Structure 1
Amino acid sequence: EMKQEALDKGLATIRKNYENTLKKGKLTQEKFEQRVALISGTLDYQEIAQADIVIEAVFEDMSVKQQVFQQLDAVMKPGAILASNTSTLDVDQIAAFTQRPQDVIGTHFFSPANVMKLLEIVRGKLTAKDVLATVMALSKKIRKTGVVSGVCDGFIGNRMIEQYSRQAGYLLEEGCTPEQVDKAVEKLGFAMGPFRMGDLAGNDIGWYIRKRRYVEKPHIIYSKTADLLCEMGRFGQKTGAGWYDYKPGDRKPYPSTVVNEMIVKHSADIGVERRKISDQEITERLIYALVNEAAYILEEGIANRASDVDMVYLTGYGFPLHTGGPMFFADTVGLSNVVRAMEKYAKGRHGEAWKPAPLLAKLAAEGKTFN
């Protein structure tokens, strides 16, 4: 860490997590002491110079990553693996900050990292094969499900979730409340809907990424509701208010009158007449947005196979296990039915988002499946 105060806080959090496991009886006192004793903190890069692997988890900003990787490159022993926990940034650009791009790889842990099973392993164009193999083996050792992804904005999971979030935002503008959208997908078996997920992860993270998108990809249209929410300082559970209201010490989401009024007013401001939206439309728009983006990801070779995409969603995003993941779900529904639904939604607002990816269109036309 940079400051002692931050380091103390981090170590205290780790200890607290272990204490919770101890309280639940999943850990003996002896094991608890042993594990806590294995962890040490430092403010000095020199102290980690002999580590076999170092994982950077600093703020999601390229200039901050640059400073860290240049320092790691200067001190780490030859052959050490330099990994980044970035969730969207270009791993090849990060590797270029070092004199050893072959040793740089992405290890995108999902939050909370001590609980979530998924580890997206991002292979840069210069990442050495032994580095990739070592990190794959490490993921097994720490009981994670490692899925290899190529380099693109958001990798597999977050690149797809962006389309899902965009549809969720459009649904608010057209007539839904956050609670209605969340309940529709949770009824299908999702661990949590998009708005509860935003409140858990922190709405400011998405806001930061959208600000970058407005500059880099001005053609992509987002609902302004999430920006308005963040302007109100409602960043989620950590601030006690997000899409929902929260009470101290209670993670239960309570529908927010203030937020729902803001959404209705925003619909009026942009001249959209609100309508009643069915649960079926909500779930189809959210899931098919994921499926279509994943078809592009497969076509570009970012993911090796459709089942890799399914594993990302089953282990990292709370996708209902019984559906087999978004791609398997689409296969089950029938890809021609998926395309037909997309053609229907293409006639509505933001119809440009519903152009079927070439791979999806081809498989549907041939009566084939992803898996």
Structure 2
Amino acid sequence: ATAALLSGFQVTLIEMTPAACEAAHGRIAGNLAGALKRGKITAEQHQVILNETLTVANDYAGLSDADLVIEAVFEDMDVKKQVFTQLDAVCKQGAILATNTSYLNVDEIAAVTSRPQDVIGLHFFSPAHVMKLLEVVVADKTAIDVIATGFELGKRMKKISVRAGVCDGFIGNRILATYRDAADQMVMEGASPYDIDAALEGFGFAMGPFAVADLAGLDIGWAVRKRKRIEAGIEGVSTYADKMCEAGNFGQKTGKGYYDYAAGPKARVPNPEVMNLIATDRAAAGTIQRTFTKEQIIRRYMASMVNEAAKVVGEGIARRPLDVDMTLLFGYGFPRYWGGPLKWADIVGLPDLLEDISTYAKDDPKFWAAAPLLKQVVSSGKSFDSLNKKG
């Protein structure tokens, strides 16, 4: 809502209760005060936005004249479907119904409405008034004018807009899930979360994956893991990461996660409880332990990222390698000077990277199955960048 207001849009924000409305208005006022302090808006604009441009209500009827509605409720499919059923009943014909989901199936959400052609995914990255990336997620029945409107919205909001297809996590979060899995595998095989964070911060990330998880909230990943287990029919599984959450340790917001933040959010003192939980999981799994150098950590982490990115492009979820690179650069803190994961892969050499992936696959053929597109590019002697120049 703040991002739309700062871009000059008239905004009606719907909350469930009057108390929630008041709280939302307060958060927006705080964001706008920050924009005023930084010179992004004038004092006059600040007052106009708060008193005229913004409306906060707790009744869906307030959306009856809206041209575009963006849903941003909790990541639960049943809840999303309930909201879209109500939006379909209230919103005028021709109104675009967008979901801000970061993982869920947009086709399934669209199917509960009488207007699937008007449903699209607009995945803003948090905080939306700061982060530049916008994934425009195109469902099977999304109309071309709705797609064009999504990109026009991104342009007016000064976003880097990337078209994405429908799959679990779209472009960015699908790739994130894979390279985070690679990090978790290394933890089970002998690396500590702190070794991995240090190596990747040395590579150029502002924060390693475990520090990022603490910042975002460990409960987010916990919810995703539980959802995927339900979908896969898996019950009774509880990993060390689950046990951290079961104990109420969700990262910075609770003061403890992979790190202990008793001395403040920037303290990042390793939480001694974590390695004990990991040791229990390692013993239960019977994994052979080894040591990892910083270079080995970076290589394996990046190989998993590149391999999944190549699958995303090969399947048409992303239309070109550049779209993946822009997504990781502007949404996931990928080091700018490397140009993105697929640009990095071109720089370090695709044949050697494919050879490493083939070596890793000897221990885990399913996870490390080489992307067909990666094999194709290597066999043809081309680069990922060459695919950006097609037609």
- What's the TM-score bracket when you normalise by the shorter of the two chains? over 0.9
Give 3-state SS (helix, strand or coil) of 1:247's partner: coil
Partner of 1:180: 195
Structural mapping, 1:120-159, within 5 Å: 120-159=135-174
Distance in 1 (alpha carbons) for counterparts of 2:56 and 2:264: 29
CA deviations over 1:59-94 (Å, ceiling 9, x no partner):
111110111001100010111110000111111111
Distance in 2 (alpha carbons) for counterparts of 1:272 and 1:130: 53
CA deviations over 1:10-63 (Å, ceiling 9, x no partner):
221121122233334544333322333322211001111101100000111111
Partner of 1:65: 80
Partner of 1:189: 204
Amino acid at match of 1:84: T
Give 3-state SS (helix, strand or coil) of 1:121's partner: strand
Structure 2 residue ranges without an equivalent (≥5): 1-14, 386-391
Partner of 1:163: 178
TM-score, normalising length: structure 1: 0.94
From 17, 21, 28, give the equivalent of 2:42: 28
From 300, 307, 325, give the equivalent of 1:292: 307
Structure 1 residue ranges without an equivalent (≥5): none
Structure 1 window deviating more from structure 2 (2-11 vs 50-59): it is 2-11
Structure 1 window deviating more from structure 2 (227-236 vs 69-78): it is 227-236
Partner of 2:346: 331
Partner of 1:317: 332
Give 3-state SS (helix, strand or coil) of 2:104's partner: coil
Distance in 2 (alpha carbons) for counterparts of 1:22 and 1:241: 33
Question: Is contact 1:169–1:223 with CA below 8 Å preserved after alignment?
Answer: no
Q: CA RMSD in A?
A: 1.9
Distance in 2 (alpha carbons) for counterparts of 1:22 and 1:262: 46
Distance in 2 (alpha carbons) for counterparts of 1:31 and 1:145: 25
Partner of 2:8: none
CA deviations over 1:282-303 (Å, ceiling 9, x no partner):
1122121111112111121111
Distance in 2 (alpha carbons) for counterparts of 1:285 and 1:225: 22
Structure 1 window deviating more from structure 2 (94-103 vs 291-300): it is 291-300
Q: Quick one: structure 1 residues 252 and 107, their matched pair in 2 at CA, closer, same or farther if it must change by over 3 Å?
A: farther
Partner of 2:69: 54
Question: Is contact 1:240–1:248 with CA below 8 Å preserved after alignment?
Answer: no
Give 3-state SS (helix, strand or coil) of 1:208's partner: helix
Structural mapping, 1:207-218, within 5 Å: 207-217=222-232
Question: Is contact 1:166–1:223 with CA below 8 Å preserved after alignment?
Answer: no
Partner of 1:97: 112
Structure 1 window deviating more from structure 2 (23-32 vs 121-130): it is 23-32
Question: Is contact 1:170–1:223 with CA below 8 Å preserved after alignment?
Answer: no
Shift in Å at residue 273 of structure 1? Answer: 4.3
Distance in 2 (alpha carbons) for counterparts of 1:310 and 1:302: 13
Distance in 1 (alpha carbons) for counterparts of 2:38 and 2:156: 23
Amino acid at match of 2:283: A
Amino acid at match of 1:358: P
Amino acid at match of 2:176: I
Amino acid at match of 1:76: C
- 1:7 matched to 2:21: yes
Amino acid at match of 1:58: V
Question: Is contact 2:252–2:265 with CA below 8 Å preserved after alignment?
Answer: no
- 1:365 matched to 2:372: no
From 77, 95, 100, give the equivalent of 1:85: 100
Distance in 1 (alpha carbons) for counterparts of 2:243 and 2:378: 39
Distance in 2 (alpha carbons) for counterparts of 1:26 and 1:73: 36
- 1:198 matched to 2:213: yes
Amino acid at match of 1:266: D
Partner of 1:264: 279
Shift in Å at residue 131 of structure 1? Answer: 0.6
Using the aligned pairs only, state the percent identity: 49
Shift in Å at residue 218 of structure 1? Answer: 6.3
Q: Quick one: structure 1 residues 190 and 123, their matched pair in 2 at CA, closer, same or farther if it must change by over 3 Å?
A: same
Question: Is contact 1:335–1:367 with CA below 8 Å preserved after alignment?
Answer: no
Give 3-state SS (helix, strand or coil) of 2:114's partner: coil
Distance in 2 (alpha carbons) for counterparts of 1:180 and 1:17: 36
Amino acid at match of 1:280: E
Q: How many residues align?
A: 368
